[in-house]
Structure 1
Amino acid sequence: MNWLDSTVHRALVEAVLVGVLGGVVGVFVIARRLPFFTMALTHATFPGIVVAAMLGVNLYLGGGLFGLLVVAAVLAFGRGRGQDFTTATGIALSGGFALGVVLVSAQDGFTRDLAAYTVGDVLAVGTGDLVATAAVAVGVLLLLALLGKELLLAAFDPVGAAALGLPTVLLDFALLAVVEVTVVATVPALGTILAVALIVGPAATARLLTDRLAPLFPLAAAIGVACALAGVWVSTQWDVATGASIALFVGLVFGAAFLGTAVRGRVRRAAAVRA
């Protein structure tokens, strides 16, 4: 019997993959202040899912392709006169989701179950899902390794990046596309509603624990993997929703880190006053 024939084993591998992917990409999301954009993507790709369901093709492929169109639209709208990135993201969120609802309502007898895409189920992933997630993880990590410095420079100092002659528009598209692909890759495990938790939460927690950039990436990845594995374990032990369990652990770890840093700050201030 193949080790991956076990449902739990496949879930554990998927948890490790999405934990690492979400943690590393999340550092860029936090640095560029893209949590709202990440959340918007989980909703704005809905039309792609509906069209894929109608055509009988892979739902995640449909969501991914439509997500790239959303990324291009956000960049185009955000650079328009009198517009900003947040406004463009809000337009893409509402417009994309509305288009999906219209498509669903226009189909008589449209009963395709989209619950798996909405809430996810890591215990239901197959070998094909693992291969797809691994391919996305390798591709994304390689791209970030090659363009990481440029992407961070564009995030922290866009004016300086432009002055150095860097193609800021292409860098913006590359980063947003990486976020979009990561969202789609995380959906089988957590669904569109909870995927943002594993992308934003571990990186935000790591940011509370260190001010240095280099440790952020392995720390965020480790937190993402730990929360994902803990969620799978709780789900298998108590028969509760896996995606929600993972997201809950992400929230608990962030809350613990936040309280810990707050207490540490108070202790330091008290010690400084006594001194």
Structure 2
Amino acid sequence: MSWLDSYTHRALAEAALVGCLCGAVGLHVVLRRMSFFAMAMTHATFPGVAVAAVLGLNIYLGGAVAGLLACMGVLALSRRPDQGATTATGAMLATGFALGVAVLSAADGFSRNLEAFMTGSLITVTDKELVTTTGVFALVVLLLTAFHKELLHGAFDREGQRAAGYPVAGLDLLLLLLVEAVIVVTAPAIGVMLTMALLVGPTAIARLWTDRVGTTVFLSVFTGTASCALGLAISTHWNLAAGGTVTLVIATGFLISLPLSPLRSSWRSHGRTPSPTG
């Protein structure tokens, strides 16, 4: 009998992978102030999932395709001189969610599989989903490691990066696709609508305790993993929804860290209040 034969062990392994994955990618989401984009992408995957559910196709593949199209759309619109990234993202958010609702209303029904995609369930994670998460985790970590310097450069000095000859548009697209990949692959465990909490929360907590990038990455990954494990334990014991419980654990961690932060004096001296959106 394998250790992963137990559904609780599979759930714990998935929680660890999801926490690490969101903590690592969340650093770049917070540094680039992409929290609104992350929320928009959770909505932009909705029409792809809805169409796939209605047609009887794989809903995660549908979400991935819709997310890819949304990433390309945001990137294209934000390059226009008369449009900004926030405007483009807002347009994608509204359009994507409205399209998903329209598809579902035309189909005259709400798929149970689609509901699982939106709310998530760590306890019911399958071996196939665990393998998929592991594969995406390995790929995302590999790309983040390979392009770590370039992605950080773009977060702190975008114009300098462009002047230095870096492929700024290509790096932007890479990061957008990584965020979308995380949203889609973590949906079975946490739910697509709550993934943003894991993408933003652990790094927001980490930034309250350190201003060093290396330490922030470590604390973000640790916080994300610990939050998923603790949320899983609480949800299992009290028979609560895992995604919502994990989100509440992260929110509690942020509220506790806020008054205890050793960096709050430096935030005040710069006239800025820390927030989960970075």
TM-score between both structures, scaled by the size of structure 2: 0.92
Change (3 A) 1:57 1:215: same
Give the aligned residue type for 1:50: A
Give the aligned residue type for 2:168: T
> Does 2:249 match 1:249?
yes
| Secondary structure class of the residue paired with 1:240 | coil
Q: Which residue of 1 aligns with 2:22?
A: 22
> Does 2:109 match 1:110?
yes
Give the aligned residue type for 2:15: A
CA distance, structure 1, for counterparts of residue 57 and residue 105 of structure 2: 20
- Deviation digits for residues 1-34 of structure 1, max 9, x if unmatched? 2211111111100000000000010000011100
Give the aligned residue type for 1:119: T
Note the 1:191-270 alignment, pairs <5 A.
191-261=191-261, 265=265
| Secondary structure class of the residue paired with 2:123 | helix
Structure 1 unaligned spans of 5+: 270-275
Given that residues 27 and 220 in structure 2 are in contact (C-alpha distance below 8 angstroms), is that contact kept between their aligned partners in structure 1? yes
CA distance, structure 2, for counterparts of residue 91 and residue 230 of structure 1: 36
Deviates more, 1:41-50 or 1:51-60: 51-60
> Does 2:103 match 1:99?
no
Note the 1:50-199 alignment, pairs <5 A.
50-107=50-107, 109-113=108-112, 114-199=114-199
Change (3 A) 1:83 1:12: same
Structure 1 stretches of 4+ moved >2 Å: 262-266
Give the aligned residue type for 1:209: W
Given that residues 208 and 262 in structure 2 are in contact (C-alpha distance below 8 angstroms), is that contact kept between their aligned partners in structure 1? no
Q: CA deviation at 1:188?
A: 1.1
- Deviation digits for residues 81-138 of structure 1, max 9, x if unmatched? 311001100000001111111212222x434222101111111100000000011110
| Secondary structure class of the residue paired with 1:125 | coil
CA distance, structure 2, for counterparts of residue 95 and residue 115 of structure 1: 20
Q: CA deviation at 1:263?
A: 9.4
CA distance, structure 2, for counterparts of residue 159 and residue 81 of structure 1: 16
Count of residue pairs brought into register by the alignment: 267
| Secondary structure class of the residue paired with 2:109 | coil
Give the aligned residue type for 1:172: D
Q: Which residue of 2 aligns with 1:273?
A: none
Give the aligned residue type for 1:124: T
RMSD: 1.7
CA distance, structure 1, for counterparts of residue 23 and residue 110 of structure 2: 35
Give the aligned residue type for 1:14: E
CA distance, structure 2, for counterparts of residue 20 and residue 247 of structure 1: 15
Give the aligned residue type for 2:109: F
Change (3 A) 1:112 1:238: same
CA distance, structure 1, for counterparts of residue 9 and residue 234 of structure 2: 14
CA distance, structure 2, for counterparts of residue 7 and residue 188 of structure 1: 14
CA distance, structure 2, for counterparts of residue 264 and residue 200 of structure 1: 19
| Secondary structure class of the residue paired with 2:261 | helix
CA distance, structure 2, for counterparts of residue 103 and residue 240 of structure 1: 30
Q: Which residue of 1 aligns with 2:39?
A: 39
Deviates more, 1:134-143 or 1:58-67: 58-67
Larger Rg: 1
Give the aligned residue type for 1:129: E
Q: CA deviation at 1:262?
A: 7.0
CA distance, structure 2, for counterparts of residue 116 and residue 264 of structure 1: 39
TM-score between both structures, scaled by the size of structure 1: 0.93
CA distance, structure 1, for counterparts of residue 13 and residue 77 of structure 2: 39
CA distance, structure 2, for counterparts of residue 263 and residue 75 of structure 1: 34
Q: CA deviation at 1:240?
A: 1.1
CA distance, structure 1, for counterparts of residue 208 and residue 15 of structure 2: 23
CA distance, structure 2, for counterparts of residue 165 and residue 112 of structure 1: 48
